[in-house]
Amino acid sequence: MNNARWLLGLALLVALTTPAQSQQPVQGTNYPSWAFPLKVERPLPPEGPEPKALAGSSRRFTQEQIDDLLNPPDWFPDRHPDPPAIVLKGHGEALACGACHLMSGLGHPESADLSGLTVTYMVQQMKDFKAGSRIDVPRMNKIAKEVSEEESRQAAEWFAQLKPRRFTRVIESETVPMTFVGNGRMRFVEPEGTEPTGNRIITVPEDQSAARLRDPDSGFIAYVPLGSIAKGKALAETGGGGTTVRCATCHGLDLRGAGNVPRLAGVHPIYIARQLYRFRDGSRNGAEAVLMKSTVDRLADEDIVSLSAYLGSLAP
Protein backbone atom coordinates (compact mmCIF):
# COMPACT_ATOMS: atom_id res chain seq x y z
CA MET A 1 0.00 0.00 0.00
CA ASN A 2 2.83 2.40 0.90
CA ASN A 3 4.52 1.68 -2.44
CA ALA A 4 1.26 2.38 -4.30
CA ARG A 5 0.83 5.70 -2.48
CA TRP A 6 4.44 6.63 -3.24
CA LEU A 7 3.93 5.87 -6.96
CA LEU A 8 0.72 7.90 -7.08
CA GLY A 9 2.45 10.81 -5.40
CA LEU A 10 5.39 10.60 -7.82
CA ALA A 11 3.03 10.50 -10.82
CA LEU A 12 1.18 13.55 -9.54
CA LEU A 13 4.43 15.44 -8.93
CA VAL A 14 5.74 14.69 -12.43
CA ALA A 15 2.42 15.67 -14.04
CA LEU A 16 2.22 18.94 -12.14
CA THR A 17 5.78 19.91 -13.06
CA THR A 18 5.30 19.24 -16.78
CA PRO A 19 5.47 22.43 -18.90
CA ALA A 20 2.09 24.14 -19.11
CA GLN A 21 1.99 23.92 -22.89
CA SER A 22 1.67 20.12 -22.81
CA GLN A 23 -1.32 20.40 -20.48
CA GLN A 24 -3.40 22.39 -22.96
CA PRO A 25 -6.08 20.55 -24.92
CA VAL A 26 -4.78 19.80 -28.39
CA GLN A 27 -6.49 18.35 -31.41
CA GLY A 28 -4.26 15.48 -32.49
CA THR A 29 -3.52 15.68 -36.21
CA ASN A 30 -1.81 12.31 -36.52
CA TYR A 31 -4.34 10.04 -34.88
CA PRO A 32 -4.50 6.64 -36.60
CA SER A 33 -7.73 6.15 -38.51
CA TRP A 34 -8.14 2.59 -37.18
CA ALA A 35 -8.60 3.99 -33.66
CA PHE A 36 -10.54 7.12 -34.66
CA PRO A 37 -13.10 6.11 -37.31
CA LEU A 38 -14.53 9.62 -37.62
CA LYS A 39 -15.24 9.78 -41.36
CA VAL A 40 -17.86 7.64 -43.10
CA GLU A 41 -16.07 6.13 -46.08
CA ARG A 42 -19.14 4.55 -47.63
CA PRO A 43 -22.78 4.64 -46.46
CA LEU A 44 -24.44 1.27 -45.98
CA PRO A 45 -27.17 0.29 -48.43
CA PRO A 46 -30.61 1.59 -47.38
CA GLU A 47 -32.94 -0.83 -45.64
CA GLY A 48 -36.57 -1.38 -46.53
CA PRO A 49 -39.46 0.05 -44.47
CA GLU A 50 -40.55 -3.30 -43.03
CA PRO A 51 -40.29 -3.80 -39.24
CA LYS A 52 -37.19 -5.67 -38.04
CA ALA A 53 -37.19 -8.52 -35.53
CA LEU A 54 -34.56 -9.72 -33.07
CA ALA A 55 -34.42 -13.26 -31.70
CA GLY A 56 -35.89 -13.45 -28.21
CA SER A 57 -37.63 -10.08 -28.41
CA SER A 58 -41.34 -9.52 -29.03
CA ARG A 59 -40.70 -5.96 -30.19
CA ARG A 60 -40.47 -4.72 -33.78
CA PHE A 61 -38.73 -1.61 -35.10
CA THR A 62 -38.10 -0.26 -38.59
CA GLN A 63 -34.52 0.59 -39.56
CA GLU A 64 -35.50 4.25 -39.48
CA GLN A 65 -36.56 3.87 -35.84
CA ILE A 66 -33.40 1.91 -35.00
CA ASP A 67 -31.22 4.64 -36.50
CA ASP A 68 -33.01 7.42 -34.60
CA LEU A 69 -30.35 8.56 -32.11
CA LEU A 70 -32.95 10.52 -30.14
CA ASN A 71 -35.17 7.47 -29.66
CA PRO A 72 -33.19 4.20 -29.86
CA PRO A 73 -34.77 0.74 -29.62
CA ASP A 74 -35.03 -1.08 -26.32
CA TRP A 75 -35.31 -4.69 -27.48
CA PHE A 76 -35.37 -6.26 -24.01
CA PRO A 77 -36.95 -3.85 -21.51
CA ASP A 78 -37.48 -6.66 -18.99
CA ARG A 79 -33.72 -7.23 -18.61
CA HIS A 80 -32.87 -3.99 -16.84
CA PRO A 81 -34.30 -1.47 -14.37
CA ASP A 82 -36.57 1.22 -15.76
CA PRO A 83 -34.26 3.72 -17.47
CA PRO A 84 -34.46 7.48 -16.91
CA ALA A 85 -35.82 9.57 -19.77
CA ILE A 86 -32.42 10.71 -21.09
CA VAL A 87 -31.33 7.11 -21.69
CA LEU A 88 -34.32 6.47 -23.95
CA LYS A 89 -35.17 9.93 -25.29
CA GLY A 90 -32.78 12.62 -26.43
CA HIS A 91 -33.44 16.29 -27.01
CA GLY A 92 -31.71 18.77 -29.30
CA GLU A 93 -27.98 17.96 -29.50
CA ALA A 94 -28.33 15.60 -26.54
CA LEU A 95 -28.65 12.16 -28.07
CA ALA A 96 -30.29 9.40 -26.04
CA CYS A 97 -27.60 7.58 -24.03
CA GLY A 98 -28.93 4.19 -25.12
CA ALA A 99 -28.31 4.96 -28.79
CA CYS A 100 -24.51 4.75 -28.66
CA HIS A 101 -23.96 2.98 -25.33
CA LEU A 102 -26.80 0.51 -25.97
CA MET A 103 -29.41 -0.50 -23.45
CA SER A 104 -26.85 -2.90 -21.98
CA GLY A 105 -24.33 -0.11 -21.35
CA LEU A 106 -21.70 -2.11 -23.27
CA GLY A 107 -21.64 0.28 -26.20
CA HIS A 108 -20.29 0.02 -29.70
CA PRO A 109 -16.50 0.36 -30.13
CA GLU A 110 -16.83 4.01 -31.14
CA SER A 111 -18.35 4.76 -27.72
CA ALA A 112 -17.58 3.85 -24.10
CA ASP A 113 -18.62 0.77 -22.12
CA LEU A 114 -20.46 2.36 -19.18
CA SER A 115 -21.65 -0.80 -17.48
CA GLY A 116 -20.77 -0.93 -13.80
CA LEU A 117 -18.75 2.31 -13.68
CA THR A 118 -19.23 4.39 -10.54
CA VAL A 119 -21.72 7.23 -10.48
CA THR A 120 -19.06 9.69 -9.32
CA TYR A 121 -16.75 8.78 -12.20
CA MET A 122 -19.44 9.10 -14.89
CA VAL A 123 -20.77 12.39 -13.53
CA GLN A 124 -17.25 13.83 -13.50
CA GLN A 125 -16.64 12.77 -17.12
CA MET A 126 -19.80 14.60 -18.18
CA LYS A 127 -18.57 17.70 -16.37
CA ASP A 128 -15.22 17.40 -18.15
CA PHE A 129 -16.94 17.04 -21.54
CA LYS A 130 -19.14 20.03 -20.78
CA ALA A 131 -16.13 22.15 -19.79
CA GLY A 132 -14.19 21.06 -22.88
CA SER A 133 -11.31 19.68 -20.82
CA ARG A 134 -12.10 16.24 -22.22
CA ILE A 135 -12.43 16.24 -26.01
CA ASP A 136 -14.84 14.28 -28.17
CA VAL A 137 -15.81 16.77 -30.87
CA PRO A 138 -18.15 14.53 -32.91
CA ARG A 139 -20.52 13.76 -30.05
CA MET A 140 -19.90 14.09 -26.34
CA ASN A 141 -18.93 17.75 -26.05
CA LYS A 142 -22.16 18.79 -27.76
CA ILE A 143 -24.24 16.30 -25.79
CA ALA A 144 -22.80 17.32 -22.42
CA LYS A 145 -23.62 20.97 -22.99
CA GLU A 146 -27.31 20.16 -23.38
CA VAL A 147 -27.68 17.51 -20.68
CA SER A 148 -28.59 18.85 -17.24
CA GLU A 149 -26.73 17.85 -14.09
CA GLU A 150 -29.81 15.94 -12.96
CA GLU A 151 -30.01 14.03 -16.26
CA SER A 152 -26.30 13.18 -16.00
CA ARG A 153 -26.71 11.84 -12.50
CA GLN A 154 -29.83 9.84 -13.36
CA ALA A 155 -28.11 8.23 -16.34
CA ALA A 156 -24.97 7.50 -14.29
CA GLU A 157 -27.00 5.86 -11.52
CA TRP A 158 -28.74 3.67 -14.09
CA PHE A 159 -25.62 2.56 -15.98
CA ALA A 160 -23.83 1.87 -12.69
CA GLN A 161 -26.40 -0.87 -11.98
CA LEU A 162 -25.69 -2.75 -15.21
CA LYS A 163 -23.37 -5.74 -15.07
CA PRO A 164 -20.25 -5.73 -17.27
CA ARG A 165 -19.76 -8.74 -19.52
CA ARG A 166 -17.46 -9.78 -22.33
CA PHE A 167 -18.49 -8.06 -25.54
CA THR A 168 -15.30 -8.19 -27.65
CA ARG A 169 -13.27 -11.21 -28.76
CA VAL A 170 -9.62 -10.26 -29.19
CA ILE A 171 -7.89 -12.34 -31.87
CA GLU A 172 -4.22 -12.16 -32.79
CA SER A 173 -3.82 -12.37 -36.55
CA GLU A 174 -1.22 -11.59 -39.20
CA THR A 175 -3.95 -10.46 -41.59
CA VAL A 176 -7.38 -8.84 -41.25
CA PRO A 177 -10.42 -8.57 -43.53
CA MET A 178 -10.62 -5.55 -45.80
CA THR A 179 -12.97 -3.08 -44.13
CA PHE A 180 -14.60 0.32 -44.52
CA VAL A 181 -16.14 2.81 -42.09
CA GLY A 182 -19.88 2.88 -42.60
CA ASN A 183 -22.88 4.35 -40.80
CA GLY A 184 -22.42 5.18 -37.13
CA ARG A 185 -18.61 5.38 -37.38
CA MET A 186 -18.52 1.57 -37.29
CA ARG A 187 -16.11 -0.52 -39.36
CA PHE A 188 -17.70 -3.15 -41.62
CA VAL A 189 -16.15 -6.06 -43.55
CA GLU A 190 -15.83 -5.90 -47.33
CA PRO A 191 -17.25 -8.88 -49.23
CA GLU A 192 -13.75 -10.19 -49.96
CA GLY A 193 -10.07 -9.50 -49.50
CA THR A 194 -7.55 -9.28 -46.66
CA GLU A 195 -4.61 -7.07 -45.77
CA PRO A 196 -1.74 -7.17 -43.22
CA THR A 197 -2.75 -6.29 -39.68
CA GLY A 198 0.29 -4.10 -39.19
CA ASN A 199 0.44 -2.09 -35.97
CA ARG A 200 -3.33 -1.71 -35.78
CA ILE A 201 -6.45 -2.96 -34.05
CA ILE A 202 -9.25 -3.63 -36.51
CA THR A 203 -12.63 -4.04 -34.84
CA VAL A 204 -15.67 -5.38 -36.69
CA PRO A 205 -19.07 -6.73 -35.60
CA GLU A 206 -19.50 -10.44 -34.94
CA ASP A 207 -22.75 -10.12 -36.89
CA GLN A 208 -23.03 -7.01 -39.05
CA SER A 209 -26.80 -7.26 -39.44
CA ALA A 210 -27.30 -7.57 -35.67
CA ALA A 211 -24.99 -4.63 -35.01
CA ARG A 212 -27.08 -2.49 -37.35
CA LEU A 213 -30.13 -3.41 -35.25
CA ARG A 214 -28.33 -2.28 -32.04
CA ASP A 215 -28.59 -5.81 -30.70
CA PRO A 216 -27.29 -5.63 -27.10
CA ASP A 217 -26.20 -9.29 -27.27
CA SER A 218 -24.18 -9.17 -30.49
CA GLY A 219 -20.58 -8.20 -29.80
CA PHE A 220 -17.40 -7.51 -31.74
CA ILE A 221 -14.12 -9.02 -32.91
CA ALA A 222 -10.91 -7.06 -32.43
CA TYR A 223 -8.06 -8.28 -34.63
CA VAL A 224 -4.68 -7.40 -33.11
CA PRO A 225 -1.04 -8.03 -34.15
CA LEU A 226 0.62 -11.36 -33.40
CA GLY A 227 2.28 -11.31 -29.98
CA SER A 228 0.62 -8.06 -28.90
CA ILE A 229 -1.33 -9.57 -25.99
CA ALA A 230 1.82 -10.95 -24.34
CA LYS A 231 3.66 -7.66 -24.90
CA GLY A 232 0.75 -5.74 -23.41
CA LYS A 233 0.59 -8.07 -20.42
CA ALA A 234 4.28 -7.49 -19.67
CA LEU A 235 3.84 -3.71 -19.92
CA ALA A 236 0.71 -3.72 -17.75
CA GLU A 237 2.23 -5.93 -15.07
CA THR A 238 5.78 -4.52 -14.88
CA GLY A 239 5.65 -1.03 -16.35
CA GLY A 240 8.22 -2.04 -18.96
CA GLY A 241 11.25 -0.90 -17.01
CA GLY A 242 10.08 2.68 -16.68
CA THR A 243 8.11 2.96 -19.92
CA THR A 244 4.94 3.30 -17.86
CA VAL A 245 3.53 2.41 -14.44
CA ARG A 246 1.92 -0.91 -13.49
CA CYS A 247 -1.78 -0.60 -14.36
CA ALA A 248 -2.77 -2.36 -11.11
CA THR A 249 -1.29 0.51 -9.08
CA CYS A 250 -4.45 2.53 -9.71
CA HIS A 251 -6.93 0.27 -11.53
CA GLY A 252 -6.96 -2.61 -9.03
CA LEU A 253 -5.16 -5.94 -8.94
CA ASP A 254 -7.67 -7.50 -11.36
CA LEU A 255 -7.85 -4.29 -13.45
CA ARG A 256 -11.59 -4.17 -12.84
CA GLY A 257 -11.42 -0.74 -11.25
CA ALA A 258 -10.71 0.57 -7.78
CA GLY A 259 -13.05 3.14 -6.28
CA ASN A 260 -13.60 5.84 -8.87
CA VAL A 261 -10.68 4.66 -11.01
CA PRO A 262 -12.38 2.91 -13.95
CA ARG A 263 -12.24 -0.68 -15.08
CA LEU A 264 -9.83 -1.55 -17.90
CA ALA A 265 -10.49 -5.29 -18.16
CA GLY A 266 -12.69 -6.18 -21.10
CA VAL A 267 -13.09 -2.63 -22.42
CA HIS A 268 -13.20 -2.22 -26.23
CA PRO A 269 -9.51 -2.24 -27.28
CA ILE A 270 -9.83 0.67 -29.71
CA TYR A 271 -11.60 2.71 -27.02
CA ILE A 272 -8.63 2.15 -24.70
CA ALA A 273 -6.25 3.08 -27.52
CA ARG A 274 -8.10 6.37 -28.15
CA GLN A 275 -7.80 7.34 -24.49
CA LEU A 276 -4.07 6.52 -24.40
CA TYR A 277 -3.45 8.60 -27.52
CA ARG A 278 -5.40 11.52 -26.05
CA PHE A 279 -3.67 11.34 -22.69
CA ARG A 280 -0.32 11.20 -24.48
CA ASP A 281 -0.87 14.26 -26.66
CA GLY A 282 -2.59 16.27 -23.93
CA SER A 283 -6.06 16.46 -25.49
CA ARG A 284 -7.69 14.57 -22.62
CA ASN A 285 -7.69 16.60 -19.44
CA GLY A 286 -10.02 16.98 -16.49
CA ALA A 287 -10.17 16.44 -12.78
CA GLU A 288 -8.73 12.93 -12.78
CA ALA A 289 -6.55 13.00 -15.91
CA VAL A 290 -3.39 14.37 -14.35
CA LEU A 291 -2.17 11.02 -13.02
CA MET A 292 -2.42 9.40 -16.45
CA LYS A 293 -0.28 11.92 -18.30
CA SER A 294 3.04 10.89 -16.81
CA THR A 295 2.22 7.20 -17.27
CA VAL A 296 1.69 7.45 -21.04
CA ASP A 297 4.12 10.07 -22.33
CA ARG A 298 6.80 7.42 -22.99
CA LEU A 299 4.47 4.98 -24.72
CA ALA A 300 5.24 4.27 -28.37
CA ASP A 301 2.40 3.53 -30.79
CA GLU A 302 3.26 -0.18 -30.58
CA ASP A 303 2.96 0.00 -26.78
CA ILE A 304 -0.50 1.55 -27.08
CA VAL A 305 -1.64 -1.24 -29.42
CA SER A 306 -0.20 -3.95 -27.14
CA LEU A 307 -1.67 -2.56 -23.92
CA SER A 308 -5.07 -2.08 -25.57
CA ALA A 309 -5.04 -5.62 -26.96
CA TYR A 310 -4.15 -7.14 -23.61
CA LEU A 311 -6.61 -5.13 -21.53
CA GLY A 312 -9.42 -5.77 -23.99
CA SER A 313 -8.73 -9.51 -23.90
CA LEU A 314 -9.38 -9.77 -20.13
CA ALA A 315 -12.67 -10.83 -18.59
CA PRO A 316 -14.51 -7.74 -17.31
Residue 168 forms part of a structural domain? no
Structural domain range at position 147: 63-160
Residue 1 forms part of a structural domain? no
Measured in whole angstroms, the distance separating CA 200 from the mean position of its chain's CA atoms is 16
Q: Using an 8 Å Cβ cutoff, are 41 and 180 in contact?
A: yes
Question: What pLDDT was estimated at residue 206?
Answer: 97
How far apart CA 83 and CA 72 sit, in angstroms, is: 12
Which residues, 6 or more positions from 209, have their beta carbon under 8 angstroms from its beta carbon?
A: none
Cα within 13 Å of Cα(89), Cβ side = 3
Question: What pLDDT was estimated at residue 59?
Answer: 97
Question: What pLDDT was estimated at residue 192?
Answer: 94
Residue 188 forms part of a structural domain? no
How far apart CA 128 and CA 122 sit, in angstroms, is: 10
Measured in whole angstroms, the distance separating CA 233 from the mean position of its chain's CA atoms is 20
Residue 125 forms part of a structural domain? yes
Residue 185 forms part of a structural domain? no
Residue 144 forms part of a structural domain? yes
Question: What pLDDT was estimated at residue 25?
Answer: 34
Question: What pLDDT was estimated at residue 137?
Answer: 73
Task: Write the CATH number for 116.
Answer: 1.10.760.10
Residue 184 forms part of a structural domain? no
Question: What pLDDT was estimated at residue 29?
Answer: 54
Task: Count up the domains in the chain and report the number.
Answer: 1
Mean pLDDT by 10 residues, the chain (316 residues): 40 34 41 90 91 96 96 97 97 96 95 96 95 87 96 98 97 98 91 96 96 96 98 97 94 94 97 95 84 91 98 97
Residue 2 forms part of a structural domain? no
Question: What pLDDT was estimated at residue 23?
Answer: 31
